[in-house]
Amino acid sequence: MQKRFLCAMLLLAAIAQAGLAQDTLAYRAATAIPGSSERAKALDQFVNEYPSSKFRSRAYDALFDIYAEQGNESAALQAAHNSLQSLPPEGRMSPYNRFSYALALSNMGLDSALVYIVRAIVMAGKSRSLSGFQDTKAYVLYRLKSFKEAEALQRIAIVGHEQDPEYLTHLALYEKENGKLHDALKTMSKSLYFGGDQDSRKSFLAWIDEAEKEKSKREALKSSVVMATVRSQLDTIKGSALIAARSDAAIVMADLGVEIPTAKKWAEASVKSLTQQSSIENVIRFNSALALVFSAEKNHREALKHLERIHDLADPYDARYWETLATTQIALGNRRDAIAAYMEALVPRNDKVIRASLEELYEQEYRSREGIDTRLDSLRNVSANFSPGEYGKPTTSHGKVVLAELFTGAECGPCASSDMAFDALSEYYPRTAVAIVEYHVHIPGPDPMTTNESWDRYLWCEGQGTPTAVFDGRELLIGGGPKTVARNRFGVYRYAIQKFDSENPRVELDLKVGSEGDDIDLNVSVARNTFTGKVGKPALMIALVEKSVDYTGSNGIAKHAFVVRKMIDGATGTPLTLARKQIVSKTVNVAAVERAIKDYLDDPTKQPSWSNRRPFTGWRSRPEKIGRANLAVVAWVQDLDSKEVLQAAYAEVPNLIGAK
């Protein structure tokens, strides 16, 4: 640990002496130090040596988190103050909210927390929803023991968030402190139904114990409250959605030991309903639910079977999955496999509860905790720097080409893993099997590879933040993480592609690309093949992509692949009829595309795609020049009603003027 700290400090000093515009490298070196105390020293050195760095506010944020975790109230408050002062006044609304909630969680600096959240609410005014700010303020009031005010405000905040477990947990806490124990039990039961965390579970069970002293009565009360919640939710759901709802109910029933036979019946039915076309989300949630039910029955072998079935798809942040996998392995006597499960859970983040479980089990197995961090570092390295292998299947010019779309951002930390996973997809699959396009958007910060058409496409695809990946228009996957999650994302994305890559294409799509001077000539023919089904509203999309763009944002990704520079005829393309063969011809002038990019970058705040609330302070750099030898075209036919992609095609642009 000490050696790592000294190396990082020497790196900071070397960077400073070299006079490189290296605040980025210095900031990363400081934040990479594993020990919190040593990391705090390095961050202090960073803000002193780089007082005008764009990372100054983030460094103070990191210092705040360290001091809050250590319980150092005065240092945490000073770091929060310094962070806020490094921001323009108009950019402090969200940080006020963040610091207020974090202080309340740590139960420190509550007077400052109240001041911060009041300021945030004043700044928000009527320009946006206040519920998140109200939720924070209610929690601060709760910590200040103003329980009635907290409950009254939370009832306002929760409107529109009635299925949010965090809002529900907060309301339950306030009800409990106001003497409404049975109301609190009902509210906390709802929180658990919608995915409440382990702290919520502990509170619920403690309140059950408080409400009834006799064991039989406690069990009856628990069953009554939980099943009342389950029935109230299921009674409002009809049709196929009921299968998923019952599976979700089975999770909370199994977790709390309520009506296990019913939970098993529902969970087994949900797994049996799965088909090749089922969403990845349902594959994971249904198998997880059944595994939890088997665990509740202590049928650990059956539980393990379903847990292993979704191992490569499981969310790296799903603590419940990894905890269940580890405890199941322990129950079967497989302690080293349990250690491996705990370690996989710690790849993206340091979950304190899982870390404690790992250390205890590791010491039992190896008589020491030495080696844990070395093994974790190795696992993280493998997860970030993996080889995708080779596709291996033969492809033909008339076979199915799956379209893989990624909405990403250079300032999006969780996008790092998805960007790397898409790079791996491009290495694993030939373009005759998978065509890739990547759209950049200003989420959460300015990204100079954004275009208005990319933003329009994001809205049309109903993107849910970044990263959002869409496969063949039929499988939408959200979420990412640091680079250490890249292997998991690749596995999930490949699973999605495998659902579609063996299908027969719905249409014949022939893409020919030529060039003359600085013009790209496109000729696309589309014809219905043997498919006889209905297509609601077919359209041809064409994207001009740059195969590699050099730009480094805050997430550290330096090369961006298949960046959409222009969508010909916009995000929803050229209408088709498919009644007969159609030929669509287009010409794109690359110099004109460059001029449009330059105009966009000159003032992005005037563009429809500008969604960032913070003031624009300029670009890190301007990747406005297009590499003439670095271009390709992706075309696809899509049903605008169902959003299904009927076929895609990829072709590189040849011999443009000035290409090198």
Looking up tokens 């070299």, which residue turns up?
18
What is the predicted pLDDT for the residue at 590?
Answer: 97
- Cα 395 from chain centre: 32
pLDDT of amino acid 127: 63
Please say if the pLDDT value at position 11 is more than 80. no
Where residue 9 falls among pLDDT bands split at 50, 70, 90?
very low
Cα-based torsion angle of the residue sequence 375, 376, 381, 387 in order, rounded to the nearest 10 degrees: 80
The predicted pLDDT at position 658 comes to: 61
Of 319-333, 482-496, 608-622, give the lowest mean pLDDT range.
608-622
Backbone CA torsion sign across 61, 63, 64, 70:
positive
Paired with 508 in beta bridges are 527
Residue 104 has pLDDT above 50, yes or no: yes
3-state SS assignment for residue 448? coil
pLDDT at position 659 over 60: no
Whole-number pLDDT of residue 22:
76
pTM of the complete model beyond 0.85 = yes
Amino acid present at 502: S
* Rounded average pLDDT over 612-631: 88
pLDDT at residue 425 tops 60: yes
Give the tens place of pLDDT for each residue, 536-576.
899 999 999 999 999 999 899 999 999 999 999 999 999 99
Which residues 6+ apart lie within 8 Å of 505 measured at CB? 398, 399, 400, 401, 529, 646, 647
Structure tokens at 371: 């080696």
Peptide bond just before 575 cis, omega within 30 deg: no
Between CA 388 and CA 116 the distance in angstroms is 47
3-state helix, strand, coil in the chain (%, to 5): 55, 15, 35
Residue type, 6: L
Mean pLDDT of 257-274: 98
For residue 108, the model assigns a pLDDT of 98
State CA 460 to chain mean position distance.
19
pLDDT in tens, 197-207: 999 999 999 99
Q: Which of 436, 435, 437, 430 is nearest to 396 (CA)?
A: 430
Residue 8 has pLDDT above 80, yes or no: no
Q: Fill in the amino acid letter for 157.
A: A
pLDDT at residue 17 greater than cutoff 80: no
Q: How far is CA 77 from the centre of its chain?
A: 30
Cα–Cα distance for residue pair 76/135, rounded to 1 Å: 22
Residue whose C-alpha is closest to residue 67's, from 39, 92, 94: 39
Q: Residue 14 has what pLDDT? A: 46
Token pair listed for 253: 């029933």
What average pLDDT score do residues 44-55 get? 90
**DSSP symbol at 313:** T
pLDDT tens-digit map of 121-132: 999 986 668 999
Cβ–Cβ < 8 Å for 469, 404: yes
Dihedral angle, C-alpha 611, 614, 620, 621, nearest 10 °:
40
pLDDT for position 208: 98
Q: Quickly list DSSP for 633-660.
A: EEEEEEETTT--EEEEEEEEPP--TT--
| Angle 590-593-598 from CA coordinates, rounded to 5° | 125
Judge whether residue 412 has pLDDT over 70. Answer: yes
> What is the spatial distance between Cα 445 and Cα 443, in angstroms, rounded to a whole number?
5
Strands 402-408 and 434-440: parallel
Q: How many residues does the chain have?
A: 660
Farthest CA pair distance, the chain = 86
At residue 655 the predicted structure's pLDDT band, cuts being 50, 70 and 90, is confident
Q: Is residue 614 very low, low, confident or very high in pLDDT (cuts 50, 70, 90)?
A: low
Spatial neighbors of 477 by CB under 8 A, at least 6 apart, are: 280, 468, 469, 470, 471, 492, 493, 496
The pLDDT of residue 611: 77
Residues 6+ apart with CB under 8 A from 434: 401, 402, 403, 404, 425, 426, 497, 501
Q: What is the DSSP string of 348-376?
A: SS--HHHHHHHHHHHHHHHSS-TTHHHHH
Q: What percent of the chain has pLDDT over 90?
A: 85
For each of the domains in the chain, give its residue range(s) and CATH number, in order of start: 405-612+620-652 (2.60.40.10)
Q: What is the pLDDT of residue 34?
A: 77
What DSSP letter does each residue of 153-203 carry, written as one string? HHHHHTTT-TT-HHHHHHHHHHHHHTT-HHHHHHHHHHHHHTT--HHHHHH
> Over the chain, what is the mean pLDDT?
93
**Beta carbons within 8 Å of 346's beta carbon, 6+ residues apart:** 354, 355, 358, 376
Residues 483-496: b if buried by 16+ CB within 10 A, e if exposed: bbbbbbbbbbbbbb
The pLDDT assigned to 126 comes to 67
What would the two tokens of residue 106 be?
């740590």
The model's pLDDT over 439-468, given as tens digits with 9 standing for 90+, comes to: 999 999 999 999 999 999 999 999 999 999
Q: Is the pLDDT of residue 531 over 80?
A: no
At 532 the pLDDT is 64
Alpha carbon distance 97, 647 (integer Å)? 46
Alpha-carbon gap, residue 231 to 526, rounded angstroms: 51
561 sits in the region (left: phi over 0; alpha: psi -120 to 50; else beta) called beta
Give 545 or 618, the one with higher predicted confidence: 545
What is the rounded distance in angstroms from the CA atom of residue 376 to the CA atom of residue 351? 13
pLDDT, residue 612, reads 72
Q: Judge whether residue 31 has pLDDT over 80.
A: yes
Among 45-54, 243-252, 588-597, which stretch is predicted with the lowest mean pLDDT?
45-54
User: Is there a contact between 507 and 448 (Cβ–Cβ < 8 Å)?
Assistant: no
